[in-house]
Amino acid sequence: MSKVETQAQPSQPVKLRPGNIQLDPQGKLRHFLAIEGLPKTVLTQILDTAEIFTASEEKKFELLKGHTIANLFFEPSTRTRTTFELAAKRLSADVLNINISASSSSKGETLLDMLRNLEAMHVDMFVVRHGSSGAAHFIANHVPPHVSVLNAGDGSHEHPTQAMLDMFTIRQHKPDFPSLRVAIVGDLMHSRVARSQIHALNTLGVGELRVIAPKTLLPAGIEKMGVQVYQDIDAGIKDVDVIIMLRLQRERMHGAFIPSEQEYFKLYGMTETRLALAKPDVIIMHPGPINRGVEMDSAVADGNHSVILQQVSNGITVRMAAMAMAMRNPDGSSAS
Amino acid sequence: MSRIHIKGGHLIDPANNVDAVTDLWIADGKIQAIGKAPEGFTADQTINADQQIVCPGLIDLSARIREPGQVHKASIASETTAAAKAGITTLVCPPDTDPVIDSPAIVELIHLKAREADMSRLHMLGALTRNLDGELISEMHSLKNAGVLGMSNANKPVPNSLVLRRAFEYAATHNLTVFIRPDDIGLSNKGCVHEGALASRLGLPGIPEAAETVAVARHLELIEQTGVRAHFSQLSAARAANMIARARHDGLKVTADVAVHHLYLTDIDIRDYNSACHLIPPLRSERDRDGLRNAVKLGVIDAICSDHQPHEPDAKQAPFPDTEPGLSGLDTLLPLVKRLADENLLTLSHAIDCVTRLPANILGLDLGHLSVGAVADVCLFDPNMSWLVSSGNLHSAGHNTPFMGWEMHGRASSTLINGQLIFSSDND
């Protein structure tokens, strides 16, 4: 060790990590990994762009012609993958669907090796679903400047396109976010959808945001995310404009987090009687697929307050908007 | 054996309350005199220690050396050499090698490799239970005869309290210290970060503070009942340190250490999934960090270790929960401990005590002091030398450190083991 190193050094700790990898230097959407960290202008732009696609008579656009999008699904998914595929095709992109089961990815090929291989095939955008939180961030940190990454759900972290299609659906019915009182009900502990919704609703300036669940399904410190916490659903949904029910995974129903689905439905299930506590024009949402009789009655799921099927249709145009905005040219500049 | 004169250094030897500029005279592997030369002493070698701190060689209570079993990460040769270059003269390796240190043959193998490397001393803890499975107690007597310094189940808690009780009783029978990394496996539940607002925001499975405090309470009860000599390793929660303070106040003789990074970093340093901060036990809150610092200051936490866990780059290149936990800590132990004095938390003498005499006492080794007649394991370092942590600067085979890019002050310039100069920055 020579003592040449004894010189003035930068003050510490040196920040090796970029500030916001989701935005390019012009402030445009670069990767879509999480709602957290995106400004209101970008979220509004996604909604406005989706609006244009929705309002258009055309079904197909040539915006992403010549671009290749790879759907990289490390977790099984039917609906999300299908809507991403449909969105890509409506933008005239070439689509590659790659389903990687846990067993094949554990055969030694690392995630980075797999990405390098796909990049060599000139993929321009990765749509990623992965069971580990932070997977989309990890991939975004390792792709070249002309490749962008869309998070289609990472662990219990975020599912930003799902949240944006929910915002789009809310805006169709109730466009004035500051006047809204919104309640999210159910398994917030494990839900990536809920985290994205919380960030989106707060960024869009919702008037009041409540979360409702037993303590076993609430993550530690959730009150620091800008929500009011309720354990009692009847108090929690009083006078709300929007109710978002979360899906409860089967494996969490039998004694691990709640004693039984019967008791859960009794305490947190949405019924017509309960719904009457909310505002008369309340809308009820669910990211699907619904466990009927666990999260809500069929009468509510299929009733006139439900906007669940609209959420599904909106999923396509919102994903088209995100894809069109994040796509890059070969030189790394925004393609939109 | 060479005869060495260490000239004009600032000698800090907490065990003997020495804190002064003076000379050190070494021959036959031992300290011969402090201050004036012994009668007729002729040095073969004089080390100019002007502007240098001269202190006992550092003793690191927890360093994985990855051999046997994971030589793609590091080896006994690479890590004992890295330790020597970092001023650490004694390393203690937990028993979770592959195979596990639960038979005298493995102890022999590791000793043999360490002798071949001929750098820093390498000691071991033996497995408290066979294969660390937490079911059957290990052959502690044979392991002790083979040279282990204590027993530990490393990062694998013993779930059955009856097995734990018997293991403690058997260790007490053989006058062995048990080293406990307190963790309740049910509560930590495959978590990878501190349970709190950050974990919730990042959607990462959390390890609650109670995973540590519940385990501390359970172990304290069995320590009291069995009378075993016990040491708590790598505390991460301030409340755990408070529990140990209370137990000591009630007369229980237990000791504790903390990994030095827990005195600097918190879960906030994970930011957007920085896998270099994926550590077990996890980085906790600011309150925990400050509480641990205070516990070191008050002497509730006796020793400071590196909890060194070197990895190959691939181990940290994956989505955060899928990366391997642990950091490479040998290179930064000395400057980070010294920094506690720079920040006025501890006197420099107390800081050095935490990595010399105090860990030696915990291990029952007659090391960590520079008394006349003592084994001459000595570290010399320039307290003002600043260096930037970078891949090119690290001696360990593992470059997985969250301190990458930090400016450090202080680095070993010479290291002596058994009175032999085994490292000098002039020749490096």
pLDDT the model gives residue A3: 38
Interface test with A, best of B200, B267, B423, B427 (most A CBs within 10 A): B200
Answer whether B385 sits within 8 Å of A111, measured CB to CB. no
Mean pLDDT for B199-211 is 97
pTM (two decimals)? 0.93
Q: Which of residues 364-423 of B touch A (CB under 8 A)?
A: 382, 384-388, 393, 403-407, 411, 413
Per CB-CB distance under 8 Å, the chain B contacts of A140 are: none
- Class of B4-54+375-394+402-427 per CATH? mainly beta
Considering just the CA atoms, what is the radius of gyration of chain B in Å?
21
pLDDT the model gives residue A251: 72
Q: Over 60: is that where the pLDDT of B308 sits?
A: yes
pLDDT digits (tens, 9 = 90+) for B360-386: 999 999 999 999 999 999 999 999 999
| ipTM confidence | 0.89
| pLDDT over 90 percentage in chain A | 76
Mean pLDDT for A29-34 is 97
pLDDT digits (tens, 9 = 90+) for B63-98: 999 999 999 999 999 999 999 999 999 999 999 999
pLDDT the model gives residue A110: 80
pLDDT the model gives residue A5: 39
pLDDT the model gives residue A107: 56
Please report which confidence band the pLDDT of residue A19 belongs to, taking 50, 70 and 90 as the band edges: low
pLDDT the model gives residue B160: 97
CATH 3.40.50.1370 assigned to domain A161-308? The reply is yes
Q: What residue ranges do the domains of chain A occupy?
A: 40-158+314-326, 161-308
Answer whether B204 sits within 8 Å of A10, measured CB to CB. no
Please name the helix (run of DSSP H) or strand (run of DSSP E) that holds residue B109, with its range, or none.
helix B104-117
DSSP 8-state secondary structure symbol assigned to residue A96: E
Catalytic hit among B302, B307, B331, B353: B307
Nearest CA in chain B to A20: B272
Q: From the list B200, B320, B406, which residue is nearest A134 (CB)?
A: B320
pLDDT digits (tens, 9 = 90+) for A46-56: 999 999 999 99
Per CB-CB distance under 8 Å, the chain B contacts of A108 are: none
The bridge status of strand B53-56 relative to strand B378-388 is antiparallel
Per CB-CB distance under 8 Å, the chain B contacts of A11 are: 407
pLDDT digits (tens, 9 = 90+) for A70-125: 999 998 888 889 999 999 999 999 999 988 875 455 556 788 888 888 888 889 99
- Class of B57-363 per CATH? alpha beta
Q: 3-state SS string over A150-201?
A: EEEEECCCECHHHHHHHHHHHHHHCCCHHHCEEEEECCCCCCHHHHHHHHHH
Could you tell me how many residues make up chain A? 336
Nearest CA in chain B to A3: B385
Q: Over 50: is that where the pLDDT of A12 sits?
A: no
Which DSSP string do the residues of B288-339 spell out, in sequence order?
A: HHHHHHHHHHHTSS-EEE--B----GGGGSS-GGGSPP-B--HHHHHHHHHH
Q: From the list B196, B205, B317, which residue is nearest A221 (CB)?
A: B196
pLDDT the model gives residue A102: 57
- Tokens 């696609």 belong to A53
Buried b (16+ CB within 10 A) or exposed e, B84-98: bbbbbbbbbbbbbbe
Contact B325, B275 (CB under 8 A): no
CATH 2.30.30.40 assigned to domain A40-158+314-326? The reply is no
Rounded to whole angstroms, the Cα distance separating B232 from B234 reads 7
Q: Over 80: is that where the pLDDT of A255 sits?
A: no
User: Residue B336's closest CA among B272, B258, B284, B417?
Assistant: B258
Answer whether B319 sits within 8 Å of A224, measured CB to CB. no
pLDDT the model gives residue A288: 86
pLDDT the model gives residue B53: 98
Please report which confidence band the pLDDT of residue A8 belongs to, taking 50, 70 and 90 as the band edges: very low
Answer whether B203 sits within 8 Å of A17, measured CB to CB. no
Per CB-CB distance under 8 Å, the chain A contacts of B284 are: none
Rounded to whole angstroms, the Cα distance separating B319 from A143 reads 14
Q: B366: alpha, beta or left, given left = phi > 0 and alpha = psi -120 to 50? A: beta
As a whole number, the mean pLDDT across chain B is 97
Answer whether A17 sits within 8 Å of B201, measured CB to CB. no
Rounded to whole angstroms, the Cα distance separating B224 from B221 reads 5
Q: Over 80: is that where the pLDDT of B427 sits?
A: no
Nearest CA in chain A to B208: A220
pLDDT digits (tens, 9 = 90+) for A274-321: 999 999 999 999 998 899 999 999 999 999 999 999 999 999 999 999
Residue B203, chain A, CB below 8 Å: the answer is: yes
Contact B232, B182 (CB under 8 A): yes
Answer whether B321 sits within 8 Å of A6, measured CB to CB. no
- Give the lowest-confidence range in A144-148, A162-166, B356-360, B363-367: A144-148
Answer whether B403 sits within 8 Å of A14, measured CB to CB. no
